[in-house]
Amino acid sequence: MGQRLFADLSVSLLSLCVTLILLEIGFRLVSPQDPGFWDSQSIRRLIPTTPHFVENIPNGRADLTGVPVAINSYGLRGDEVTLPKPPRTFRIVAVGDSITFGYGIPVSDTFVKILERRLNERAHGEARYEVLNGATLGGALNDYYHFLSQKAAILQPDMILIGLCLNDILVYSESGSISEAGAEWGGQDWTLSRTLNSFLLRNSHLYMFHYARLKSFLYASGIFDINKVQGMNFLTMEAPSAYQEKAWESSLEMLSRIIAFCREHGYGIVVVVFPMQMQLSPAELQFYRNKYRLEIGNEVLSGEPQRRLQTFAEASGVTLVNLLPAYRAYNPEDLYLRNRMVLADPVHPSVKGNRIAADEIFRVLWGKLGRD
């Protein structure tokens, strides 16, 4: 009986493997996928020494999410930079994570480059404005500080723009590393599954074709808990807790370090706060609750995290651009990244979302530059 069962299982497993191999061959012939679609290894790296800051790879190239990405020799997304800075040039260096980097969209459609065009259009040739993109995929406040300490003096900025998302609110150590000890939202370690996922995305056309729907199914079914996945940080939108307060204190301290650095070196500073999609309306919040089992309350709609950051900015004498009101004036479904492989993304702005962000930043910034 045992041998018969083993034989049947062996035949079934062999049949499954043969079927998957045939399907893989079929997809490669009929519907070949781009193996580099999700692969950022050629443009992004972690520094091997503690605290493992993330940085762009100089001169890196990739077709990430189907979009050409070029990193220049200074580790910035975009064209080369003229050094020393040309006369009558006002240079803004933007730091941030994948939002500021422009994940999923061409560099010309990022809010960084749209803002640069808006400023030069208004200047009418009286001055030249440059807005450089120093953001990194997966960056956080510690990485922004590291970038500025390494690159700001070289790039000669007049102003630093910090693109801040609510998932930047984390617990940071004194060395600048991110601590997850005690984090109620990040307790699951799926290193093996992430490694397997990366391998399959680079090597299986069949897996890549079904990846977006499989990922959506795993969250919707509860097999993967979106509330506890590393990197999915909704901490600021959860009910108040001791750990949340610790993250706020730590993050505002890190922001204070960045502000102090900028003032010490004579750089102006502006902080831009990007909202998450579930903050925009009750319908968007309910969508993520129903579709992905996101466990956050109605308090997310209050805009309290933005108000807390605004209070901090006013006390610090820093200009803050809160994009939540501007985004709420438009259809939320048009403002966030969507394509055949990204079925839902509550964080990364679409081309339209970047345009609206640039317009609002320009409105605030031009008044400040005009007064100065």
Question: What are the Cα distances from residue 79, in Å, to 58, 74, 163, 165?
Answer: 12, 10, 20, 25
Which helix (H) or strand (E) segment holds residue 328: the answer is helix 324-328
Question: Hey, which of 167-181, 219-233, 349-363 has the most confident mean pLDDT?
Answer: 349-363
- The identity of residue 131, as a single letter, is V
Average confidence (pLDDT) over 100-114: 97
Would you state the pLDDT for residue 90?
Answer: 96
Q: Give the whole-angstrom CA distance, residue 161 versus residue 255.
A: 12
Output the pTM of the full model.
Answer: 0.89
Average confidence (pLDDT) over 227-238: 71
Among 76-90, 118-132, 187-201, the range scoring the smallest mean pLDDT is: 187-201
Write out the two tokens for 67.
């979009």
Would you state the pLDDT for residue 150?
Answer: 95
Residue 188: pLDDT band with limits 50, 70, 90: very low
- Report the Cα–Cα distance between both ends of the chain, in Å, rounded: 86
Write out the two tokens for 59.
């001169």
Preceding amide of 84 cis, omega within 30: yes
Query: Is it the case that residue 111 has pLDDT exceeding 80?
Result: yes
Q: CA Rg, the chain, in Å?
A: 22
Among 6-10, 106-110, 174-178, the range scoring the smallest mean pLDDT is: 6-10
Among 15-19, 63-67, 103-107, 363-367, the range scoring the smallest mean pLDDT is: 15-19
Which helix (H) or strand (E) segment holds residue 117: the answer is helix 111-123
DSSP 77: B
Would you state the pLDDT for residue 343?
Answer: 77
Count how many Cα atoms sit within 13 Å of the Cα of residue 98 in the half-sphere of its side chain. 20
Average pLDDT taken over every residue of the chain:
86
Write out the two tokens for 132.
């450089």
Q: Give the whole-angstrom CA distance, residue 39 versus residue 45.
A: 12
Tell me the CATH number for domain 82-371: 3.40.50.1110
